[in-house]
Amino acid sequence: MTTPAPKSTPGDMTSFNILHGFVEALVRGMRSSFLGDADYHHLTQCENLDDVRLNLSETDYGDALEDMNSLIPTGLQKAAVEKMVSEFQYLRTQSIEPLATFLDFITYEYMIENVMLLLKGTLSGRDINELIAQCHPLGMFKESTMRSIPTFESTSRGYQDLYQTVLVDTPVGPYFSQFLAETAARSEGEVSNVLEEVEIEIIKSSLLKYWLEDFSLYVERLGGDTAAIMGDLLKVRADTNAINITLNSFGTPLNEPAMRSSDRKRLYPALGHLYPAGTAMLADVADEDELGRVLDLFPHYAALWNVHAAGGGADGKSIDDAFYERDVQMLELAFEGQMHFGVFYAYVKLKEQEIRNLVWISECILQQQKEEIHKFVPVFSFNAPWRAGSNKRR
């Protein structure tokens, strides 16, 4: 009788460092590249964008900005995103399975965003070069695929060609295929007419739902700390999507009684702390008061909703700000554990938040709105609300 080989997971101490230890060490070393409290303090004291550039020259962004003749918020954002993408791609080249597929899953979200940007833009007659320039570099695929999207004709054959181009040539093709198949089955019509009948934002929400569910199944199969930590991050992301879909549907056809339990409910991801009881209740809410009563039943989200219900409170925070603060806390905590893949997702999302911070600060300076400049969410800040209590006890 042969003893079966033990199963190893990404969080298995016997194999993780052999397979993925080098890449994990790289991403943990990249933590030192984040701006600190002193950097943010200096940036908020700047009087113009030249001062911003001068202060950033002493940070990890120095090399990315050195070739810019003049600093503008869009240029700063582009340079920061390209820097983040180059770092992510380096991590990807150093990784092996199953980490390689995990990193690919992170990029699928940006591919969906890019395809929807191209579809929405071309249907409204915008220039393809302008649209491609706005696409996120982490979600780029073959240029021939991207440029083929605006070439379709408004005919049955033209739509079929578009579907084949998008579905066949991109890794997110299965999500498009799933959406088109489900939509065609519900409407009992031709798949080629779907884009004319369904709003682009509904398509986007559907694709993100399929991606989240697929990603969640993948990390669950990986097991170990990756399933626990990354699984919780995806659950919170799914809940955020469900709340935003409900909130944004008010005043639109999706809030009509007949569409709440069909089209809107279909957009909610089949995972999360709200699923299934909470999302079932969300499908029935008709206004913000009813939404608030549902979220009051879930401690995870009652406090966040109260920020929105209070009109932002004294500090003027929106519900998006509250979500960002919650996300940053969870993503930072992902760095505290070891031997799991969630740290790679956390790095990308925390860098996104840092880039949002830089754009916000530079826009406030450019528009001379210094009284609004402190409304950002710093990353790895010693002054963060969830660290303030522990700092005071020292």
Question: Does the residue 117 lie in any domain?
Answer: yes
Q: How many domains does the chain have?
A: 1
Model confidence pLDDT, tens digit, residues 359-371:
999 999 999 999 9
**Other residues' Cβ atoms within 10 Å of the Cβ of residue 17:** 14
Phi-psi domain of 339 (left: phi exceeds 0; alpha: psi -120 through 50; beta: other): left
Residues near 327 by beta carbon (within 8 Å), at least 6 away in sequence:
236, 240, 349, 353
In this structure, the dihedral spanned by the alpha carbons of residues 253, 256, 260 and 262, taken in order and rounded to 10 degrees, is -70
Question: Does the residue 11 lie in any domain?
Answer: no
pLDDT at 3: 45
Question: Does the residue 143 lie in any domain?
Answer: yes
Q: Which two tokens stand for residue 260?
A: 């709440």
pLDDT at 292: 94
pLDDT at 300: 82
Q: Which domain holds residue 111?
A: 16-389
Helix or strand (DSSP H, E) at 31: none
CA distance 127 to 121: 8
Do residues 377 and 352 lie in contact, with contact meaning Cβ atoms separated by under 8 Å?
no
pLDDT at 67: 85
pLDDT at 394: 40
pLDDT at 87: 98
pLDDT at 46: 96
Do residues 322 and 304 lie in contact, with contact meaning Cβ atoms separated by under 8 Å?
yes
pLDDT at 1: 43
Could you tell me the mean pLDDT of each successive run of 10 residues in the chain, 394 residues long? 53 83 96 96 96 95 90 96 98 97 97 88 82 94 82 53 70 85 64 53 92 97 94 97 94 88 93 96 95 93 86 69 94 93 98 98 96 94 75 44
CA distance 33 to 61: 9
Question: Does the residue 366 lie in any domain?
Answer: yes
pLDDT at 199: 74
What's the gap between Cα 24 and its chain centre?
A: 21
Question: Does the residue 3 lie in any domain?
Answer: no
Model confidence pLDDT, tens digit, residues 205-217:
999 999 999 999 9
> Is the bond leading into 269 cis (omega within 30 degrees of zero)?
no
Helices (H), 94-172: 99-123, 128-134, 143-148, 156-169
Question: Does the residue 148 lie in any domain?
Answer: yes
Question: Does the residue 152 lie in any domain?
Answer: yes
> Is the bond leading into 385 cis (omega within 30 degrees of zero)?
no
CA distance 355 to 362: 11
Q: Which two tokens stand for residue 61?
A: 């962004």
pLDDT at 160: 55
Do residues 39 and 51 lie in contact, with contact meaning Cβ atoms separated by under 8 Å?
no
Question: Does the residue 238 lie in any domain?
Answer: yes
